[in-house]
Structure 1
Amino acid sequence: MSSNQSPADGNSGDAAASADLLEVDGVVKQFGGLVAVDGVSFGVEEASITGLIGPNGAGKSTLFNCITGVYDVDGGAVRLDGEEIQGLSPTKVARRGVGRTFQTPKTFRGMTVRENMAFAARHQTGERALGALLRPGTIREEEADVQARVDDTLEFLELDHLADDYASGLSGGQRKLLELGRVLMLDPEIIMLDEPVAGVNPSLTDDLLARLRELNDRGRTILFIEHDMDVVMENCDRVVVMHNGQTLASGPPDIVQDDERVVEAYLGGVDR
């Protein structure tokens, strides 16, 4: 990313909008005799918002863990920009361009909001002892660049007024915004969010969704798990439905919403 580019801005504006940036191809994950993910396949188009839905226990979070390297897959492939990433460690998957948040935000509660953001920036020369000794000028320039990006991103997320507050004092919704900001500092090709608005008060939910839509308008690709069907239907270009570890349906929200299999398995059930 150039020094004058905000982490909120996408990095793939020249790519074909219809290309699948992320491909999940027949992914299988087993835990002993339990098949949690059973041959799931779908694609996420570049510069799109895709929702992943399904009843509790459908395998959604397990699939996220397979995509991001938390779990090794037992079959199938995961491709980013056409290159297979299954089998890589979570750190290497993140470096390849997959940024991910969790149901429970993972932040450093003993650090300030600003420190949390700066810590997430990647490829810092000062992280390596030899670089710190031999390239102090480069380190100063990088630190100034990181702080500028932190400021831009906090302003974008409307967290700038909390920059010097400790993360431990943030509300649940603010911590989710902070975790999104940490992901943006990685400059990912795809942002994966696990239930981003769960437990968030309505006003912050609106703020978070507005930020996601703006990120998408800037060219970011987003894949998120969500149970709130209004959120999914109003914000997604495409919806993928999982049931019993398998892909039940996928397509535009209005078509998926009217699919009888989806209505029977999910939308018309108690998990709606």
Structure 2
Amino acid sequence: MSTVHLEIHGQLAEIRLDNPAKLNAFTVAMLQEFAGHLDAVERRADITCLMVTAEGERAFCAGADINAWGDLSPAEFARHWVREGHRIFDRLARLAKPVIGVISGHAFGGGLELAAACDIRVMAPKATLALPEAHVGIVPGWSGTQRLARLLPEPVIKEMALFGRRISAERALQFGFVAEIADDPRQAAIEIAAKVTDLSPRAVEVAKFMIHAGCGEDQGAMIEALGSAAIAASADRNEGVTAFRDKRKPVFSGQ
């Protein structure tokens, strides 16, 4: 049975974690499903925004299911579990469409890292954030010490990772980590997403790439994506492709 669902509401896509009995903690199958849904959303030109949500009010996501990685060898843990999760969360962060994280319940460990990979976040009043990995003898592995360090002050990350403290929704709002606190965070996210439909999808995409290039989110790829988009619209690009197909030397105009 699927535990990660993709739902389309007009121009808004929603990827929903659905394993509330396990506090929506990620398993291998959930990671794979999540990745597949991201690919589907990326390919849909009619989708202008994505929400990442979770079933239940107790937890947005409690991180990684310990039963999924607890028996892995050190090599398997590093090569597969950590790197696979990191790859998928990076994929979310670099999605060409804007992404809203709906933190309806506690976001711990990998759940906080998932929220951090979204562009903006809406949070329920009683939800909290935490990096509890040290309680089970590990460290954050899905960008909790890297991407999160660009979004929260260093002492706050240390407060969570080194001292095991939770951060409230109010503090998260003060730090700018969340855009809004709402009793119904999903509805608030829908209202925010509705505003995206009035904007140019291409302008939004390019603006996201430019911001990511400036803040260091896969800077090299973002710069090359922007450059490639610009050159793809040139007359020289069209001439180069046509000449290749005609098996002749191209005559470039510089246009």
Give me the TM-score of the superposition, normalised by structure 2.
0.30
Q: Which of 1 and 2 has greater Rg? A: 2
More strand by share: 1
Larger RCO: Structure 1 or Structure 2 (Cα < 8 Å, ≥ 6 residues apart)? Answer: 1
More helix by share: 2
